[in-house]
Amino acid sequence: MPQLIEKVYTPFQKNAGHYATTTSTPSKFNNVRGYTIVNGDINSLPLKVKNFIEESALLCQPDKIHICDGSEIENEIFTKSLLEAGTLIPLPKYQNCYLARTNPADVARVESKTFICTPHREQAVCTPRPGIQGTLGHWISPKDYDDAIMNRFPGCMKGRTMYVVPFSMGPVGSPLSKVGIEITDSQYVVCSMRIMTRMGSLVMDEIIKNNVDFVKCLHSVGTPESGKVAMESWPCDPDRVIILHKPENNEIVSYGSAYGGNAILGKKCFALRIGSTIAQREGWLAEHMLILGVTCPNGTKKYIAAAFPSACGKTNLAMMTPTLPGYKIECVGDDIAWMKFDAQGQLRAINPENGFFGVAPGTSFETNPNAMETVVRDTIFTNVAYTSDGGVFWEGLENTIKPGVTITDWLGNPWELGVSKTPAAHPNSRFCSPASNCPIIDDKWEDPEGVPISAILFGGRRPEGVPLIYEAMNWQHGVFIGSAMRSESTAAAEHKGKVIMHDPMAMRPFFGYNFGHYLKHWLEMEEQCNKLNGTMPKVFHVNWFRKDKNGKFLWPGYGENSRVLDWILKRIDGFDCYDETPIGYVPTPESLRLDNLKSQINLKELFSIEREFWLKEAEQIQTYYDNQVGTDLPKQIQQQLNNLKARVEKMQ
């Protein structure tokens, strides 16, 4: 049996991007099914891996299969090929950085086309009130799931290469980690997965050695024949995008988009949607949370996890430069946390990712210098603007533009500061950078045991009514606060306008199973902890985004948020520095450090808790539960809402 390996890489050929058509390949390398293995040895793989590859090949009918090893040389070859295809543009101002401009119809996650497939609808989603559209995820039946695949995938990789990407979410070999294999026809996705996950032979070896189960991820940008491909350099099929998850098979299938969470399948699809279902089965939590370490002036260090909806400040908080002297922030992760109790009942978290896929606009030397330092090496930027000196530009970097430098916007059109009316960078433009590049990456960010979590923060964009910070009175109250979270919509998904949406636990787009069951699971974490004689983390709600009557932020945010962390640390240490309010505990006036603040803060407005506002808020939460969650709502959560209503009603 000849080894089906071709040592020569063909992607060097001109125009050999995603849609490279095969030229002659030696027939002796073609196996019976008509494809050539151009890298890797399929026969050395465990049967279940081999089967997954062969079934996918049978369906997608690629000309070639490349089993990725994750090596430097392999990455260089893909990069070169993407440059030749025009998918990537070099950025000579920085080291090993590139810009991708997408098809303008493929710029964000597509929540309306994202589905969870279970035998029964109620396993995946809550049952909304009759006549009401559910907003807590979309269910698809097993039959429609199969049909969706069969209507899109057969032959979708004809004439092209199928890449097999073994990856680990979490440090390779950690007891908290899980592995996956993504099959994709996009080299851009392969290069992104290499940044965002631990990817390559190391992971495949782990799968072979320990015969571990892997999450099956199948991705295609779509068929060029669909006629909807407007840009050769960014193939996609926007009209037929679909993102499917089948938890019982640990399976993800994504078609038509190459953007972010739609295509980098280790991230939202695996680490959150499939991850949350595994976590429910195994008794842990998979959450849309940053993880940071904070050291205070006396040298003690605590770790905090925080759930904010997409584009609401996780990356910024995770990499914050504190303005309070003597404080140090270190970053463990900026988007996802997997958390589990250890044998002592201490909640521990790992960041399952290996990189940051961060929002570019708003990131600057003033707001997030650590991110700015992170992105000047080994980064793929997507949909930011380009400068004539080989660099990047986005809203927030206005003062970095040197005289004479011209700007090209994310669509490829000339753009002029102060003149052009449209944004230079797409509002959801991103940087994709290795976490190890971050100057404040935490020593323990790859600790296989995870870091101990002392507090969980919830927060969102609440221009009105919600104070800078308040603390939950207990765990159940904390779970309630998370379930009742609301936030202004952002460009991270397809929602239009700035409406205040419910986004419970910052997970609305990412639940892998029924939200009511998810809340029950959260409530049960306390029992798990008690059995182990542990201490539950404290829960807080923060809001950096409250505005005054003129629409100006009441709080400077960013590094100044260290003042809020300082108060949280005092509470973790048990200091009695809070006042009780109907919505929770708020800092006593002297306990929130405001020394040396550069601007005048209207504390009264920032912390005001209005009876009318909160009566309405409680009513809206009730309507939301009734309309969206129905009988799946745990009674403890309804009780918490009743308690809130009663406390607010008693206000003067």
Catalytic residues, by residue number, are 312
Q: Which is nearer to ligand GTP, 458 or 544 (CB)?
A: 544
327: nearest Cα among 369, 296, 298, 302 = 296
Query: For residues 652 and 649, what is the distance between their CA atoms, to the nearest angstrom?
Result: 8
Contact between 291 and 303 under an 8 Å Cβ cutoff? The reply is yes
Q: 626 exposed, middle or buried (CB, 10 Å; 0-12, 13-18, 19+)?
A: middle
Nearest-approach distance from CB 387 to ligand GTP, in angstroms: 20
Binding part of the chain for Mn ion, among 11-19, 307-315, 382-390, 477-485 by CB under 5 A, reads 307-315
By CB atoms closer than 10 A (0-12, 13-18, 19+), residue 582 is middle
Size of the site for ligand GTP (CB under 6 A): 22
Nearest to 96 by CA among 377, 374, 371, 372: 377
Should residue 308 be labelled a site residue for ligand GTP when binding is judged by CB under 6 A?
Answer: yes
137 binds, among ligand SPV, ligand GTP, Mn ion, none (CB under 5 to 8 A by kind): none
The interface region with Mn ion, picked from 26-34, 117-125, 227-235, 308-316 by CB under 5 A, is 308-316
User: Among residue numbers 471 through 500, which ones bind ligand GTP (CB under 6 A)?
Assistant: 492
Residue among 275 and 634 whose Cβ is closer to ligand GTP: 275
| Residue 565 CA neighbour count, 13 Å, CB half | 32
Residue 561 is a binding residue for ligand GTP (CB under 6 A): yes
d(CA 185, CA 189): 8
Which H, E and C letters describe 96-153, residue by residue?
A: CCEEECCCCCCCCCCHHHEEEECCCHHHHCCCCCCCCCCCCCCEECHHHHHHHHHCCC
Closer CB to ligand SPV, residue 267 or residue 517? 267
Residue 464 engages ligand GTP in binding (rule: CB under 6 A):
no
Task: Give 20's DSSP letter.
Answer: P
Helix (H, G, I), strand (E, B) or coil at 241: coil
Query: Is 216 or 426 the residue whose CB approaches Mn ion more closely?
Result: 426
- The answer to whether residue 310 forms part of the interface with ligand GTP (CB under 6 A) is yes
> In this chain, which of 137, 358, 482, 537 binds ligand GTP, going by CB under 6 A?
358
Residue 607 Cβ vs ligand SPV, minimum distance, rounded to whole Å: 29
Distance CA 588, CA 567 (A): 10
**In this chain, which of 238, 256, 362, 584 binds ligand GTP, going by CB under 6 A?**
362
Reading the block at residue 157, the tokens are: 């990789």
Interaction site with ligand SPV (CB under 6 A): 109, 260-261, 267-268, 310, 335, 357, 492
| Residue 335 engages Mn ion in binding (rule: CB under 5 A) | yes
Least distance (Å) between residue 193 CB and Mn ion = 16
CB of 106 to ligand GTP, least distance (A): 16
With beta carbons less than 8 A apart as the criterion, state whether 110 and 243 touch: yes
Are the beta carbons of 587 and 563 closer than 8 angstroms? no
Contacting Mn ion (CB under 5 A), which of 310, 383, 487, 561?
Answer: 310
- Residue 313 or 391 with smaller CB distance to ligand SPV: 313
In sequence order, the 6+-apart residues with CB closer than 8 A to the CB of 619 are none
Q: At what angle do helices 187-196 and 72-85 cross, to 10 degrees?
A: 140
Determine if 553 is a binding residue for ligand GTP (CB under 6 A).
yes
544 binds ligand GTP (CB under 6 A): yes
Distance, in Å, from the CA atom of 184 to the CA atom of 56, rounded to the nearest integer, reads 10
Give the nearer residue to ligand SPV in terms of CB position, either 238 or 261: 261
Measured from the CB atom, the residue of 174 and 364 that comes closer to ligand GTP is: 364
Least gap, CB of 336 to ligand SPV (angstroms): 8
At its nearest, how many Å lie between ligand GTP and the CB of residue 282?
25
Question: Which one among 178, 246, 314, 348 touches ligand GTP, defined by CB under 6 A?
Answer: 314
Instruction: Report yes or no: 244 and 253 within 8 Å, Cβ to Cβ.
Output: yes
Q: Which of 495, 497, 432, 493 is nearest to 108 (CA)?
A: 493
Beta carbon of residue 360, minimum distance to Mn ion (angstroms, whole number): 14
User: Any contact of residue 312 with ligand GTP (CB under 6 A)?
Assistant: yes
Residue 246's contacts (CB-CB under 8 Å, 6 or more residues apart) are 116, 117, 118, 142, 145, 252, 253
Which does residue 315 bind out of ligand SPV, Mn ion, ligand GTP, none, counting CB within 5 to 8 angstroms by kind? ligand GTP
- Quick one: 260 or 478, whose CB is closer to ligand SPV? 260
In the complex, the residues that contact ligand GTP under the rule CB under 6 A are 308, 310-316, 334-335, 358-359, 361-362, 367, 492, 544-545, 553, 557-558, 561
Residues found near Mn ion in the complex (CB under 5 A) = 310, 335
